[in-house]
Structure 1
Amino acid sequence: MNTESWEAWSFRTKTGETGLQAENLVGFEVEATDGGIGKIVNGSTDDGSSWIVVDTGPWIFGRLVVLPAGTIDRVDTEDEKVYLDLTKEQVKDSPPPTEEAAAPDQEYRGILGTYYGGIYGPRGGGF
């Protein structure tokens, strides 16, 4: 993972990827580096404020998890899977949503930015 240029709230762009829309990812399976964690149920592609919400099902007792777009390593549109560069434990230990996680507010985004910034390095918390 490249921590020098990591931005929490922006989707990463790779050669050949354009027009990634969080809304089009609803229903996609989400894979951590060590296994599946659930399905995307919501998301946003607002400039500088992009995120997804994952329903973890029984894995962590049906908890919804908000993930900044910068945690997504790649998207496989054919298999409808989103791959993170985080472990299941890192996702499990993330701060729980303050409400229903429909849209993370500025305060919660700051909490998430701090948590994931500790994983990705000193530049990770910015938004």
Structure 2
Amino acid sequence: MLRTVDSVHGYTIQATDDELGSVKEVYFDDERWGIRYLVVETGSWLSSRKVLISPYSVTHINDEDGIIEVSLTREQVKNSPDIDTHQPISRQLEGDYSQYYGYGNYWTGPYLWGAAGYPEYPMPDAGSVPPMSERPEDLAQRATDEQQDSHLRSSDKVSGYHILGTDEEIGHVKDFIFDDKDWAVRYLLVDTRNWWPGGKKVLLGTKWIERIDWSDSTVQTKLSREQIKNSPEYDEDAPLNRNYETELHQYYGHHGYWD
């Protein structure tokens, strides 16, 4: 199911024994575009400490009650590595976190979640994953490159970033749309009204993004202002279905990520 990050903001994280807190934001990586952690405000039971909850532990999302169920206990979370969410999170800290919980390192394999396309726990057998899509030498280089830089970005901080087209600015980031099965970020929700009075909201596929510049808070895309202006409008009040996605990809001349 496709949903916005904003739609789960404030959802209660329910452990196997008690509540852990509520979702404040998410961390995603800007290379493979996966949501790697939910940032959870724990409240008084843990001195209002913020903790990271990985999609590896999510077992169910209850939209009716605003609850995300996880396969963790309060004691596990209490004793987890203390990660300062106000500072950049290094790969070493992520490694400590993964080792503590027994998760795989998502950055060491060829798929969105390392050894698999989904945050499965325990990790799948080698025979249960799809064929490798990258050459071994490319994977080795990727592993080397990613030892220092985790590419993790805060959804709160990136919200509001300006979107730059091939000619002019085309809007700003309003939200993120992700698939709650594989936790892949599929689209940025773009508000165009800062340059187009009375304009519309549109979706920008993450595969159509060239780079994010953290120094000047911008997102660079390969699209022009005219393309964005004539693209299918996104209605926030309507369910995002495959018909709309197909129309959107066809308009830009791209294959769907589901193909």
- TM-score, reference length from structure 2: 0.37
The structure with the larger Rg is 2
**Residue 78 of structure 1: SS of its match in structure 2?**
coil
1:49 Cα deviation (Å)? 4.9
Q: Give yes or no for contact 1:22–1:51 (8 Å, CA) kept in 2.
A: no
Name the CA shift for 1:70/1:20 in 2 (closer, same or farther; >3 Å): farther
Aligned ranges 1:42-121 → 2 under 5 Å: 42-46=25-29, 47-100=33-86, 104-117=89-102
1:109 Cα deviation (Å)? 1.5
Counterpart Cα distance in 1 of 2:98 and 2:78? 16
Q: CA RMSD in A?
A: 2.0
Is it true that 1:30 corresponds to 2:9 in the alignment? no
1:69 Cα deviation (Å)? 1.3
Which has the higher relative contact order, 1 or 2, with Cα contacts under 8 A spaced 6 or more apart? 1
**Residue 50 of structure 1: SS of its match in structure 2?**
strand
Aligned match for 1:41, one of 12, 15, 24: 24
Q: Alignment identity in percent?
A: 28
Name the CA shift for 1:42/1:78 in 2 (closer, same or farther; >3 Å): same
Counterpart Cα distance in 1 of 2:85 and 2:7? 23
1:48 Cα deviation (Å)? 4.3
1:37 Cα deviation (Å)? 1.1
**1:94 partner amino acid:** S
Aligned match for 1:125, one of 104, 108, 111: 104
- TM-score, reference length from structure 1: 0.71
Counterpart Cα distance in 1 of 2:5 and 2:56? 12
Unaligned runs of 5+ residues in structure 1 are: 1-17, 118-123
Number of equivalent positions: 103
